[in-house]
Structure 1
Amino acid sequence: MKVSVIIINYKTPQLTIACINSIYENTTFDKEFEIIVVDNGSHDDSIELISREYPSLKLVDSKINLGFGKANNLAAKYAKGDFLFFINSDMIFIDDSIRKLYDFYIENESKLQLGVLGCKLEDQLGNINNSGGGFPLVNHDIREIYIAVAERFLKRNFAPRDPYDFNRAFFEIDYVIGADMFLRKQLFERAGGFDDHYFMYYEESDLQMGIRKLGFKNYIFTGTSIIHLEGASSKSEDNGRISNFKRITLAESRNYYFKKNDRNHYTKHIIFDMVLNVTRLFNRKYSIRENIKFVKQNIKSY
């Protein structure tokens, strides 16, 4: 078996089925790949719908929501492929991307010291979507906050130019977005898999920083594209804002990531973040109770 494609489903059965359909319609590997779906404690009709559509599919039923990293770790235990391809349920394949990623990896693995490989992600109109970026660091995080404040008050856009040239055949990147991570299973296991401390967010950056420390590099291959319905697999139920749960989870993951991977600047992060906590108490998108809960949980995770 060459490739194990891993999809985590959480209350998105129609998206997951559409994703699987697009894989089978566009992949020429025949029996050289498998698809593994973990239902992440959806407690809806997801398992019934997916198994009815694909009765022979390898479907793992997690009775609870394990979060992104743990669910993918669970799926990896069932994987028989030499390579793992972690994708989101909101991906639509329009090309033979699995074969093309596999061929590029095999041809360039030694020469490029290949770790994680991703591809060009697009929206439904063909516009380039987020495919990855630079490793999160405390100083970068603080600078982005200053830029956001300046943009708000000065009514100007200070966003930096995109440093990635998608006209090139491939380019190196710090981390590939978690929506499409292609890598050797052996390397995934050597790096320890996803860190179980994360429930959601920052886990792909953390894993790929570990892979970088092992001497490998991460790349985007532009020779194939996948449509990413960005955010469709994790839409908020709160009318355009993220839920307080996700806001808390994001903050907790950020704190843990900085504590683990940017320890020299972690004290600076706490001091700056404590100042921000004061303003967060008055965030009008959330109730007073929600703001207090967020700040308490955020401080607790320091």
Structure 2
Amino acid sequence: MELSVIILNYNVHYFLELCLLSVQSALTNIDSEIIVVDNNSSDDSCEMVKSRFPNVKLIQNNDNVGFPKGNNIGVDEAKGNYICILNPDTVVAEDTFEKALAFAQKQKNLGIVGTKLIDGTGIFLPESKRGIPKPWVAFTKVAGLYKIFPKSPLFNKYYAQHLSENETGEVEILVGAFMLLKKELYQELGGFDEDCFMYSDDIDLSYRVLQKGRSNFYFHETVVIHYKGESTVKDGIYMKRFKEAMEFFYKKHFKVSFLFSVFMKCGIVLFSIIKRIQGRVKEKIVPKKYLLISDSEILIKIIADLVQKKVDFLNWKTEKEVNLSSISVRNGVRVILDNEFVTFKECINILERFKNMGVTFRIVPKSSKFIIGSDSSNERGEIIKFE
């Protein structure tokens, strides 16, 4: 078998369903398997997987064992030569795995391959590529110097700004939302370090790959949506675990002075507080206008009833070839993409096309009875069910 996709789930039923639909579509031409490891979810995630995705291998843990151990459990059951660690709040394009595998197979000293990640509004997520957060690099991040001097090698290492978001190349650290690597290497490294519950596990694994003399790559030629806000709630527990994660990584890999340790603890607390503030629930964006991209006349009536407003309709079957720039989409518009007719890759392209234009997006997953999406990577998304 060529590829095993490992998805660790915890209480994100609807995002997992969307993710699995996209992964299934992307694995059509690959000898592969999907393994979902559930960390004792209290929602009906497991029932959904069993009923809708009977060919997916489901592992149900009796406790929330954390990100590292949960993924390690999944990899232990994997049969693929390559594995992909994938978050449940992601959407891959139909050619994501084919492109990433083809790239990986060309590398002579392969470590991990990561892809370009965008949030639910099409905005690039800079953590798609990072540098080792050594003391100075961490300082440039906490102090915001990487924003002031994005082109300076002295200040731009945290987000690997020697590469643009649309440039493939070697980087040091990749994010755990999407990590493609050989199973043999993962096992040689002992997988994710289970002493870390979450948050610095991907940094640690990436760093240990480098210590083995392997190269990690940021691959921009395929784009993956990472809703991100679904991964965790930015509350007091988040702050505690984030601080513990950073302390774990530094204690494990670096010897630092007492003064720097004090500085880092202050920085970690400050950074955690900022993350918490960013994650606070904000006033919901109320769309001024709705645009459904679909072929379904029935769906437009359903959505109009749900939102209690007129919904414009773009028939994707007849207008698919229209240049997107000619579509009347502007600030305040909510674009609803019907995945029954609009492929995942086309959905991703549309998000990128209209990013930074005040446009919000939702997807109606194929053969589903809900609308899903997010307006911010710092907070939970929105799910609207219908019959």
So what's the TM-score if we normalise by structure 2? 0.63
Whether the aligned pair in 1 keeps the contact of 2:13 and 2:43 (CA below 8 Å) is no
- 1:121: Cα distance to partner? 1.4
Gaps in structure 2 of 5+ consecutive residues: 152-160, 278-387
Looking at structure 2, the residues matched to 34 and 212 of structure 1 have their Cα atoms a distance apart, in angstroms, of: 28
CA deviations 1:226-256 (Å, max 9, x no partner) are: 111122232x2xxxxx111111011111111
Looking at structure 2, the residues matched to 102 and 275 of structure 1 have their Cα atoms a distance apart, in angstroms, of: 41
Whether the aligned pair in 2 keeps the contact of 1:202 and 1:257 (CA below 8 Å) is yes
Match of residue 231 from structure 1: 229
Whether the aligned pair in 2 keeps the contact of 1:258 and 1:266 (CA below 8 Å) is no
Change (3 A) 1:8 1:279: closer
Match of residue 14 from structure 1: 14
Match of residue 194 from structure 1: 192
Whether the aligned pair in 2 keeps the contact of 1:95 and 1:226 (CA below 8 Å) is no
Change (3 A) 1:49 1:127: same
Change (3 A) 1:278 1:185: closer
Match of residue 75 from structure 1: 74
Match of residue 258 from structure 2: 267
Code of the aligned partner of 2:150: P
- 1:109: Cα distance to partner? 2.2
Change (3 A) 1:143 1:116: same
Match of residue 378 from structure 2: none
Code of the aligned partner of 1:206: D
Query: Are residues 1:115 and 2:114 paired?
Result: no
- 1:213: Cα distance to partner? 0.8
Alignment of 1:26-37 (within 5 A): 26-30=26-30, 32-37=31-36
Higher helix share: 1
Match of residue 50 from structure 2: 51
How many residues align? The count is 265
Looking at structure 2, the residues matched to 229 and 14 of structure 1 have their Cα atoms a distance apart, in angstroms, of: 12
Looking at structure 2, the residues matched to 55 and 275 of structure 1 have their Cα atoms a distance apart, in angstroms, of: 48
Alignment of 1:1-302 (within 5 A): 1-30=1-30, 32-106=31-105, 108-110=106-108, 113-130=109-126, 131-147=128-144, 158=148, 160-161=150-151, 162-168=161-167, 170-234=168-232, 236=233, 242-263=234-255, 265=256, 267-273=258-264
Code of the aligned partner of 2:119: D
Whether the aligned pair in 2 keeps the contact of 1:39 and 1:47 (CA below 8 Å) is yes
Looking at structure 2, the residues matched to 29 and 272 of structure 1 have their Cα atoms a distance apart, in angstroms, of: 51
- 1:176: Cα distance to partner? 1.2
Match of residue 239 from structure 1: none
- 1:191: Cα distance to partner? 1.2
Gaps in structure 1 of 5+ consecutive residues: 152-156, 237-241, 287-302
Looking at structure 2, the residues matched to 120 and 274 of structure 1 have their Cα atoms a distance apart, in angstroms, of: 31
Q: Which has the higher contact order (CA 8 A, sep 6+)?
A: 1
Whether the aligned pair in 2 keeps the contact of 1:259 and 1:266 (CA below 8 Å) is no
